[in-house]
Amino acid sequence: MRPPSRVLIVDDEAQIVELLQLTLEMHGMQVRTAMSGPEALELAGQHSFDVIIMDVLMVPWDGFETVRRLGARMGPALPPVVFLSGLNLAEDLPRVPGLRAEYLVKPFRPAHLIEALNRVVRKS
């Protein structure tokens, strides 16, 4: 299984987005970013992604609701998701058919993110 190359980052904190984007681009990945769930839904309709990095605590939709909406729209084409949060809510992962997900609690090292991306893509 090849490592992910097209990544969508969804987070409402600009500094986090910049840090994640820089980390992933340094690993040769192509990155698009969204600052909200509605923006992520729009981008996912226009581009295909190997994996989505999704913050959990956002407005107007949290990351779980955003993934539910993406799953409803994309069905089995929903890419794997790595959820990020300062809270350990892994047991609350959304029930979306076929969802392949990992969950990282902030703060984490960049290497842990890369490992999680590779693990979740291997689940495919």
The mean pLDDT value of the chain amounts to 92
Of the pLDDT bands very low, low, confident and very high (cuts 50, 70, 90), residue 95 is confident
Query: Which of 67, 5, 56 is closest to 31 using CA atoms?
Result: 5
Question: Could you tell me the two tokens for 79?
Answer: 């890419």
Say if CB 63 and CB 56 are below 8 A apart.
yes
Per-residue pLDDT tens digits for 29-84:
999 999 999 999 999 999 999 999 999 999 999 999 999 999 999 999 999 999 99
Domain ranges across the chain? 6-122
| Res 2 pLDDT > 70 | no
Question: Could you tell me the two tokens for 7?
Answer: 């990544």
Query: Which of 35, 22, 25 is closest to 4 using CA atoms?
Result: 25
Query: Which of 73, 24, 69 is closest to 50 using CA atoms?
Result: 24
Q: Quick check: pTM over 0.85? A: yes
6-122: CATH topology: Rossmann fold (3.40.50)
Question: Could you tell me the two tokens for 61?
Answer: 């939709």
Query: What does the alpha-carbon distance between residue 97 and residue 116 come to, in Å, rounded to a whole number?
Result: 20
